[in-house]
Amino acid sequence: MKQYQSNEIRNISLLGSSGSGKTTLVEAILNESGVIKRKGTIEGQNTVSDYFPVEKEYGYSVFSTIIQTQWNEKKLTFIDCPGSDDFIGGVVTSLNVTDTALILLNTQYGVEVGTGNHFRYAESHNKPVIFVANHLDHEKVDFDRTLEQVKDTFGNKVVVIQYPVNPGLNFNAIIDILQMKMIKYNAGGGKPEVLDIPADQKAKADALHDALIEAAAEHDEALMEKFFEEGVLTSEEILAGIRAGVASCGMYPLITVCGLQNMGVGCLMEFVGNVTPSVNEVPKPVTKSNKEIAPDASAPTSIFVFKTSIEPHIGEVSYFKVMSGTLKVGDDLTNINRGSKERIAQIFAVAGQIRTNVDVLVAGDIGATVKLKDTRTGDTLNAKGCEYDFKAIEFPASKYRRAIKAVSESDDEKLSEVLTRMREEDPTWIVEQSKELKQMIVHGQGEFHLRTLKWRLENNDKIPVEFREPKIPYRETITKAARADYRHKKQSGGAGQFGEVHMIIEPYVEGAPVPETYRFGGQEFKISVRDTQEIALEWGGKIIFINSIVGGSIDARFLPAILKGVMDRMEQGPLTGSYARDVRVIVYDGKMHPVDSNEISFRLAGRNAFAQAFKEAGPKLLEPIYDVVVLAPSDRLGDVMSDMQGRRGVIMGMSSEKGFEKLSAKVPLKELSNYSTALSSLSGGRASFSMKFASYELVPMDIQEKLLKEYEETKKEED
């Protein structure tokens, strides 16, 4: 592959719902451009992009795949992204390093939930969008309905560049509005005939051509003036207007292909090469310090590693984008995130599992290397004197969690190592070794996502594992004030142990003052605040520790020990052993012994006094509540709402968004365990959702009683 300059490079994300035909289109692109002589098929398990064992087993894309080819003296880099929302990490990664999004439409089904999801991600990353209507040879194709849905959903920025003459089983011709020609194919694709537009299509083509001219003129003042004066534009001028419209995200062209039959693929590549912006025509990437970095080949060299994979017979492969300068084989770079040195021993241009050695890559280009010693996804590597540090990619929050355990205890350590490695390949897999829950929790984007992880562990790494229902990280708190005294006294020859603590606890509310007096059992207790410690807890909430001791009944040096004792019980609440939070503790009196008092005595006295008071302070369980946003087709909204309410969800609002109904709710985490699967079943796979932690709220009394009984049973079994 020849060396390309920054202005000759086009980086494109290939997006679309599952079944939209991305993998098949990639085969056609590589075949059309001469990279492969024969197209593979998903059924034959021999495609260039789906080459991992798990992808062959299930017949769907799990990882994003880099596909590079040459067309009309330009280097086109496509990143083929998984269609399933469970593997959205590949989409997010791709949009961070590409400059345009091609969104495939399955014209059997029109605008699907995945279409909307991918468009929203492209929009949030400020990427130009081109729609590609695919599957035009299917018996159930409905191009007109698809076009109507696209315009209804994404607005009047959608502009038709091509449309099919005869969609369906006999499809073989496209009307190109830009050239105003009909492009006709033989069976199986190949080089088409370019013909005049038939008479029965002329009126439709003319109307669409006028609309295209007007849309193109809107994005260039000179073209607009000429259009007003003369009423026409040349093909070159229209193309210039389309380029300006695409680059500014002011126009979403729609073109047509049939990837399976290799029809329209050459036109697609030509259009992409002519219309999509090059790397030096898009907003510049910024560092963590918000410094813009131009893709200048003569500047200091800096590369950003956006993807890591463990590949058969090769090992670890690092995929990177050259953010600045020129990268050469043999360059020594410094990893600014880790301080380590790396030598770039090999550079590859990539087409799926096909890798070609190259010597040089310039700013804006994408490539791969192997055997980096200490570099991970998200790291920046710089040449000497360069200190760029690019922002890590932000991934969506997880939506599905399971406790995972190796079937054989002897595999526990290996399991941890493999999961850590796998997270490098897919950062949307989160691995949590929960000290609180005493479980290893894996978080993902859905059941499908974690099922794939399990398959890989068992088949690639030979580690049989089982998933279990994860425990819920409840919290304990109190609802009223309470008082307790506790004396710890132990004598066993020689120095003994003695410590007595008098304590008041009450719920902590932000900004609430400390009362001057408390009354318990007809007795009044006056408080004089001498010192206050406010401690933000690792697990959320706070504890406020107040020293109100008057007259030296407890020496100040023992107060840290009392606090440690309180914290012991905060880490294992008396109701269910869950973490406690939001408590104000006032130590107001006590006793000590001149010889036998020590830190351990007061730690034990503080712990037990706190436990006694906690049980008398109206203890309650809190449960994690999540903000859930569901996007569902309108005909399934009623079912989705009923299911949500059955999960103790509180509906917070509804609205419409790009063709779908948007439902916002607050839902307890306990009720979301199988929501990914249930929503897919309710909506026929047409709905999607996101969830984000919101707050801790009181558990309803009937559920609290049930949880307490379950905890007591568990304790009996352990005893």
| CA 652 and chain centroid, separation | 24
Q: Is the pLDDT of residue 719 over 70?
A: no
Q: CA-CA distance, 433 to 442, in Å (whole number)?
A: 9
Residues 153 and 270 reside in one and the same domain:
yes
Handedness of CA 458, 462, 464, 465 (dihedral sign): negative
Residues 550 and 583 reside in one and the same domain:
yes
DSSP code, position 284: P
pLDDT tens-digit readout, 142-151: 999 999 999 9
- Lowest mean pLDDT across 102-106, 155-159, 256-260, 708-712: 708-712
Q: Is residue 669 part of a domain?
A: yes
Residues 575 and 652 reside in one and the same domain:
no
Residues 138 and 201 reside in one and the same domain:
yes
- Lowest mean pLDDT across 93-97, 585-589, 675-679: 675-679
pLDDT tens-digit readout, 110-125: 998 889 889 999 999 9
At which of 222, 248, 281 does a domain end? 281
Mean pLDDT over each residue of the chain, to the nearest integer: 93
Helices vs strands, H then E, count in the chain:
16, 38
Between 218 and 719, whose confidence is greater? 218
- Four-point Cα dihedral 522, 526, 532, 538, nearest 10: 0
Q: CA-CA distance, 415 to 271, in Å (whole number)?
A: 47
Residues 608 and 629 reside in one and the same domain:
no
Residues 352 and 226 reside in one and the same domain:
no
Q: Is residue 392 part of a domain?
A: no
**Structural domain span for residue 318:** 302-382
Q: What pLDDT does 688 receive?
A: 87
Give the CATH number, domain containing residue 602: 3.30.230.10
Q: Is the pLDDT of residue 333 over 90?
A: yes
* Residue 718 pLDDT grade (very low, low, confident, very high; cuts 50, 70, 90): low
| CA 282 and chain centroid, separation | 24
Q: Which stretches of 427-577 are assigned E, i.e. beta strand?
A: 430-434, 439-444, 465-468, 475-477, 482-490, 497-507, 517-520, 523-526, 531-536, 542-547
Q: What pLDDT does 571 receive?
A: 92
pLDDT tens-digit readout, 153-202: 999 999 999 999 999 999 999 999 999 999 999 987 778 999 999 999 99
Residues 484 and 465 reside in one and the same domain:
no
To the nearest 10 degrees (0 to 180), the angle between helices 265-275 and 235-247 is: 70
pLDDT tens-digit readout, 222-277: 888 887 878 788 888 899 999 999 999 999 999 999 999 999 999 999 999 999 99
* Residue 367 pLDDT grade (very low, low, confident, very high; cuts 50, 70, 90): very high
How far is CA 539 from each of CA 401, 402, 561, 570, rounded to the nearest angstrom?
18, 20, 21, 10
Residues 148 and 161 reside in one and the same domain:
yes
Residues 492 and 446 reside in one and the same domain:
no
Residues 595 and 634 reside in one and the same domain:
no
At which of 249, 281, 313 does a domain end? 281
Residues 503 and 573 reside in one and the same domain:
yes
* Residue 624 pLDDT grade (very low, low, confident, very high; cuts 50, 70, 90): very high
Mean pLDDT, rounded, for 342-368? 95
- Lowest mean pLDDT across 44-48, 339-343, 405-409, 610-614: 44-48
Closest CA to 127 of 239, 3, 277, 259: 277
601 — phi, psi (to 5°)? -60, -45
Q: Is residue 165 part of a domain?
A: yes
Q: Is residue 267 part of a domain?
A: yes
Percent of the chain with pLDDT over 70: 99
Q: Is residue 142 part of a domain?
A: yes
Residues 174 and 263 reside in one and the same domain:
yes
Give the CATH number, domain containing residue 154: 3.40.50.300
Take residue 327 and report the two structure tokens written for it. Answer: 């990268």
Q: Is residue 128 part of a domain?
A: yes
Quick count: other Cβ atoms within 10 Å of Cβ 584?
21
Q: What pLDDT does 273 receive?
A: 94
Mean pLDDT, rounded, for 651-656? 93
Q: What pLDDT does 58 receive?
A: 84
Mean pLDDT, rounded, for 604-620? 95
Q: Is the pLDDT of residue 53 over 90?
A: no
Q: Is residue 711 part of a domain?
A: no
Q: What pLDDT does 665 receive?
A: 97
- The total number of structural domains that make up the chain: 5
Q: Is residue 189 part of a domain?
A: yes
pLDDT tens-digit readout, 511-564: 999 999 999 988 999 999 999 999 999 999 999 999 999 888 999 999 999 999
At which of 594, 618, 642 does a domain end? 618
How far is CA 707 from each of CA 281, 539, 622, 710, rounded to the nearest angstrom?
59, 20, 11, 5
Closest CA to 363 of 122, 128, 99, 127: 99
pLDDT tens-digit readout, 454-484: 999 999 999 999 999 999 999 999 999 999 9
